[in-house]
């Protein structure tokens, strides 16, 4: 019986300390069972976003290559948007902190704009910073959602 108490008391203390540690870290460290999801839509415009007024006729940029670059332009992950211009990048939280992802990384659309609309510039890339969009719990899995701030054309 004494062995059970010796084993139970440290577990109880550890369980009580976890919420305090999480509050002190300001949710900058994701839980062990989690991931980062960077998701968005690329539009076929000179700024890669919906036109002013939310025009429903703004065309999407299908099959655009979207790359997550961190630091000095190092490619961390590359995906291709689907036919609706939607892309999603999943990252292991053991390799990134949310704060460094938001301040040290960016999204770059490497597919030329002229690919989706010949009247748009043939050179340059769409670039966007990242922003925190919330957390989704799926059972025991915590998904930290990150979205583009807004794409701009850089020639």
The reply to whether 13 falls in a domain is: no
Note whether 143 and 37 are within 8 A (CB): yes
Residue 16: per-residue pLDDT: 53
Residue 112 domain boundaries:
38-154
Are 109 and 61 contacting, i.e. CB atoms less than 8 angstroms apart?
yes
H/E element holding 107?
strand 105-109
Q: Enter the pTM of the model.
A: 0.74
> pLDDT of 39-88, one tens digit each?
999 988 876 666 555 556 788 999 999 999 999 888 999 999 999 999 99
**Total count of domains within the chain:** 1
Q: Which pLDDT value is given to residue 3?
A: 53
Q: What digits encode the pLDDT tens for the residues 122-142?
A: 888 899 999 999 999 988 888
Would you say residue 74 lies in a domain?
yes
Residue 14 lies in a domain: no
Q: Band of the pLDDT at 104, cuts 50, 70, 90?
A: very high
- Give a yes or no: residue 81 inside a domain: yes
Residue 9 forms part of a structural domain: no
Report CA Rg, the chain: 21
Written as six digits, the tokens of 147 are 């979205």
Question: Is residue 28 domain-resident?
Answer: no
| Residue 3 in domain | no
In a domain, 4, yes or no: no
């Amino acid at each position: 019986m004494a062995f059970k108490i010796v084993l139970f008391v440290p577990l109880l203390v550890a369980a009580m300390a976890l919420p305090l540690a999480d509050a002190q870290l300001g949710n900058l460290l994701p839980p062990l069972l989690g991931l980062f999801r960077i998701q968005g839509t690329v539009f076929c415009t000179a700024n890669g976003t919906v036109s002013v007024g939310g025009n429903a006729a703004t065309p999407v940029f299908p099959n655009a290559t979207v790359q997550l670059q961190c630091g000095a332009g190092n490619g961390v992950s590359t995906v291709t948007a689907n036919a609706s211009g939607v892309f999603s990048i999943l990252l292991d939280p053991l390799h990134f902190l949310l704060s460094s992802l938001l301040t040290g990384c960016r999204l770059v659309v490497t597919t030329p704009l002229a690919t989706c609309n010949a009247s748009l510039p043939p050179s340059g890339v769409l670039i966007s910073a990242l922003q925190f969009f919330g957390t989704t719990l799926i059972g025991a899995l915590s998904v930290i959602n990150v979205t583009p701030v807004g794409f701009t054309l850089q020639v």
